[in-house]
Amino acid sequence: MTQQTFTHGHALIIGVGDDPKLNCTVNDAKGLSAILRDDRRCAYPAAQVHLLTEGEGLASRAGILAALDQLAITAGPEATVVIYFSGHGYQHAGVYYLIPHGCTSQNFPMAAITGTEFAAKITAIPAARKVILLDCCHAGGIGNVKDLGLTKSPIPQEALDLFRQGNGYVFIASSTEREFSLTGKPYSVFTGVLIEAFCGQGVAKQDGYVRVADLAGHTRERVPQLTDNKQHPTLHFAQADNFVIAYYAGGEGEPKALPFELQAEGRGVDPLSQKIKSIEDLFVRARYDDAYAQFHRLCDNYPYFQTKASMLLTRYRDFQNQVILGIIPFSQQNTVNLEVAAAFQTCLRQFKQEYLSNKCD
């Protein structure tokens, strides 16, 4: 194994919650932060990934601004910073607002965060590489938005104007201003696709790294596919090159299978899962030679298991030949067969734990 730690990675992940229609935002934030912390995937140091969700004021206006201030202290010039917000974005009287936890129609705009405030806090972070991800404009609201004169908006123009004065910024928003950012289970469409990209789906080079272009390209292609062209992410950048954002498999070149919840979500059939299921079906039907042979072919792409798979197939075929030649007496055949089957099941279980893990944390 060559798994490494993405030591210079820092992240602030925000899911505001509040509205029952926005329960997805909490799942969004938890899912993305888990992938970033996972040492088998993005491999960010756990202490450098800060998760703010509903409860105890964490994702409130004060909590978010304080976390941005702290990031300006901890993330130095060499750092790569990911800032993610899942919630509402609105415009009012020409001013953009992010809607934190606890912001209602009664306390707006005092409890909201303006685009200018948000941009100033991010600009104060000295990191040379910053990726801002906004999953805004979910269906739902903070009360009667029409009475407040609010219009949905996925991205703060004030932030874009301020960012153009610097460099190293990449800004990806979940939708255009005329679209909703569609929710889903367990994640919104945009965030689910982000997680796919952070897992190495759609990377241009299989060298262990997720780059800016990988994240942008995968979201802009995959989200419209999953929403029947109802949602189109937008990309903005300021003098940023195609810098590395994270590892996708702990620094290994071979991407791991998607987390189980995304496979189950029907975002696309995972080819590796299909192959494993086919092998298991053959084994259950006692078609042992076919099962071992298919597993051996599968492991051609997974060097760590290649030797084990080869030894299993060779052992089983030697056993079969010895049975035919009468070398192994009938009384011992079942014992040897069970020994080979047990070794195969152990190897297959280890393979699934490595490449088809159901866990993100």
Q: Which two tokens stand for residue 318?
A: 């030697």
For helices 303-324 and 330-355, angle between their N-to-C axes, nearest 10 degrees? 170
- pLDDT confidence tier of residue 208, bands split at 50, 70 and 90: very high
Q: Quick one: 201 and 331 in the same domain?
A: no
In 3D space, the residue among 186, 195, 84 whose CA is nearest the CA of residue 135 turns out to be: 84
Q: pLDDT, tens digit, for every residue of 112-162?
A: 999 889 989 999 999 999 999 999 875 444 444 445 555 666 566 766 676
Q: pLDDT, tens digit, for every residue of 214-251?
A: 999 999 999 998 888 888 998 887 667 889 999 999 98
285 vs 57, higher pLDDT = 285
Predicted pLDDT of residue 144: 45
Q: Quick one: 281 and 234 in the same domain?
A: no
- pLDDT confidence tier of residue 361, bands split at 50, 70 and 90: very low
Query: 253 vs 249, 288, 353, CA distance in Å?
Result: 7, 31, 18
* Domain of 339, in residue numbers: 271-355
Percentages helix, strand, coil for the chain (3-state, rounded to 5) are 45, 15, 40
Task: Please report whether residue 199 resides in a domain.
Answer: yes
Q: Quick one: 117 and 153 in the same domain?
A: yes
Q: Quick one: 229 and 349 in the same domain?
A: no
Q: What is the DSSP string of 94-107?
A: TEEEEE-TT--TTT
Predicted pLDDT of residue 176: 84
Residue 56 has pLDDT above 50, yes or no: yes
* β-strands 244-247, 209-211 pairing: antiparallel
**221, containing H or E segment:** helix 212-226
Q: Quick one: 30 and 144 in the same domain?
A: yes
Q: Read off the pLDDT of each residue in 185-203 and give the average, rounded to a whole number.
A: 90
Q: Quick one: 229 and 341 in the same domain?
A: no
Predicted pLDDT of residue 269: 45
340 CB-near residues (< 8 Å, 6+ apart) = 288, 312, 315, 316, 319
How far is 18 from 54, CA to CA, in rounded Å? 7
What is the chain's mean pLDDT, rounded?
Answer: 83
Count how many domains the chain has: 2
